[in-house]
Structure 1
Amino acid sequence: MFIDDLLIEYSNRVSLKINPPLKTGPVLHADKPWESHRVGAYGTVMKDGALYKMWYDAIDEKGNIFHCYAISTDGIHWEKPNLGLVDYHGSRNNNILPLPPCGTVFIDPKAPPAQKYKYVTYGHGRKGFLGEYGIRVWWSEDGLRWKPNSDYALPLNADTQNQAFWDDRIGKYVAYLRAWHPMRCIARVEIEDILKPWPYKPREDKSYSPENPSSWPVPTTELPIVFKYDDFDPENVDHYNPCVVKYPYARDVYYMFPSAYLHFPEPPLGKRHNDGLLDIQLATSRDGIEWNRLSRDTYVRLGRMGEMDSGMIYMLVGMIREGDDLWMYYAGYDYSHGAYDLEKMRYKGAIFRVVQRLDGFTSYDAGFKGGELITKPIIFTGSRLTLNVDTSATGELKVEIQDEDGKPITNFDLNSCKPIHANECFKVVEWQHGDDVSPLSGKPIRLRFSMRNTKLYAFQFV
Structure 2
Amino acid sequence: MKSVVEIGTRVEMFVDEWLIEEKRGLSLKLHPPRREEIVLSFDQPWEGKGSGYVTVIQDQDKIRMYYRGIGSSSMNDDRNQVTCYAESTDGIHFVKPQLGLFEYEGSTANNIVWRGRLSHNFSPFLDRSPHTSPELRYKAVAGIDELVAFGSADGIHWQKLREEPILTDGDFDSLNVVFWDTNAQAYRCFSRIYQDKAYRTILTSTSTDFYNWGKQQLLRYNDLKPMQQYYTNSAMLCPGAEHIYMAFPMRFVPERKKLTDHPEPGVSDTVMMTSRDGLHWDRTFMEAWCRAGLDPHNWSDRTGILSTGCVLLNPDEFSFYIQEHYRLDDSRLRRVTVRKHGFGSIHAGFEHGEWVSRPFILEGNELVANYSTSAVGYLRFELQDEHGRPLDGFRLEDMEPMYGDEIDGVVTWGPEADFELWKGRPVRIRMQIKDADLFSLKWNDKK
Q: In the alignment, which of 164, 170, 176 is matched to residue 178 of structure 2?
A: 164
Amino acid corresponding to residue 168 of structure 1 in structure 2? T
Q: Distance in 2 between matches of 1:310 and 1:300?
A: 15
Aligned to 1:317: 308
Q: CA distance change for structure 1 residues 231 and 429 in 2, over 3 Å: closer, same or farther?
A: closer
Q: CA distance change for structure 1 residues 15 and 242 in 2, over 3 Å: closer, same or farther?
A: same
Where do residues 135-284 of structure 1 align in structure 2 (5 Å cutoff)? 135-150=147-162, 151-155=164-168, 157-182=171-196, 183-194=199-210, 196-200=211-215, 223-226=216-219, 232-233=225-226, 237-264=228-255, 275-284=265-274
Give the structure with the higher percent strand: 2
Deviation of 1:103 after TM superposition, in Å, equals: 2.4
Q: Deviations over 1:117-139 (max 9, x none)?
A: 001111x5xxxxxxxx5210100
The 8 Å contact of residues 228 and 238 in structure 1, kept in 2 or not, is answered as no
The 8 Å contact of residues 399 and 413 in structure 2, kept in 1 or not, is answered as yes
Where do residues 329-344 of structure 1 align in structure 2 (5 Å cutoff)? 329-333=321-325, 340=327
Amino acid corresponding to residue 123 of structure 2 in structure 1? T
Q: Distance in 2 between matches of 1:436 and 1:193?
A: 47
The 8 Å contact of residues 83 and 113 in structure 2, kept in 1 or not, is answered as yes
Aligned to 2:126: 107
Asked if residue 413 in structure 1 is aligned to residue 395 in structure 2, the reply is yes
The 8 Å contact of residues 298 and 304 in structure 2, kept in 1 or not, is answered as no
Q: Distance in 1 between matches of 2:220 and 2:46?
A: 34
Q: CA distance change for structure 1 residues 145 and 251 in 2, over 3 Å: closer, same or farther?
A: closer
Q: Distance in 1 between matches of 2:438 and 2:223?
A: 29
* Equivalenced residues, count: 414
Q: Distance in 2 between matches of 1:385 and 1:177?
A: 38
Q: Deviations over 1:306-330 (max 9, x none)?
A: 3557652101110212312111112
Amino acid corresponding to residue 226 of structure 2 in structure 1? D
Q: Distance in 1 between matches of 2:88 and 2:372?
A: 32
Deviation of 1:392 after TM superposition, in Å, equals: 2.6
Aligned to 2:6: none
Aligned to 2:339: 357
State the secondary structure of the residue aligned to 1:24: strand
Deviation of 1:24 after TM superposition, in Å, equals: 0.6
Please, what TM-score do these two structures have when normalized by structure 1? 0.84
Deviation of 1:360 after TM superposition, in Å, equals: 0.5
Q: CA distance change for structure 1 residues 364 and 34 in 2, over 3 Å: closer, same or farther?
A: same
Q: CA distance change for structure 1 residues 198 and 274 in 2, over 3 Å: closer, same or farther?
A: farther
State the secondary structure of the residue aligned to 1:415: helix
Amino acid corresponding to residue 456 of structure 1 in structure 2? L
Percent of paired sites with the same residue: 31
Deviation of 1:3 after TM superposition, in Å, equals: 2.3
Q: Deviations over 1:172-211 (max 9, x none)?
A: 11101110112211111111221x24344xxxxxxxxxxx
Q: Distance in 1 between matches of 2:416 and 2:148?
A: 57
The 8 Å contact of residues 394 and 417 in structure 2, kept in 1 or not, is answered as no
Q: CA distance change for structure 1 residues 59 and 303 in 2, over 3 Å: closer, same or farther?
A: farther
Q: Distance in 2 between matches of 1:352 and 1:279?
A: 15
The 8 Å contact of residues 229 and 238 in structure 1, kept in 2 or not, is answered as no
Aligned to 2:69: 58
Query: What value does the CA root-mean-square deviation take over the aligned residues?
Result: 2.3
Asked if residue 29 in structure 1 is aligned to residue 41 in structure 2, the reply is yes
Q: CA distance change for structure 1 residues 420 and 264 in 2, over 3 Å: closer, same or farther?
A: same
Asked if residue 91 in structure 1 is aligned to residue 107 in structure 2, the reply is yes
State the secondary structure of the residue aligned to 2:375: coil
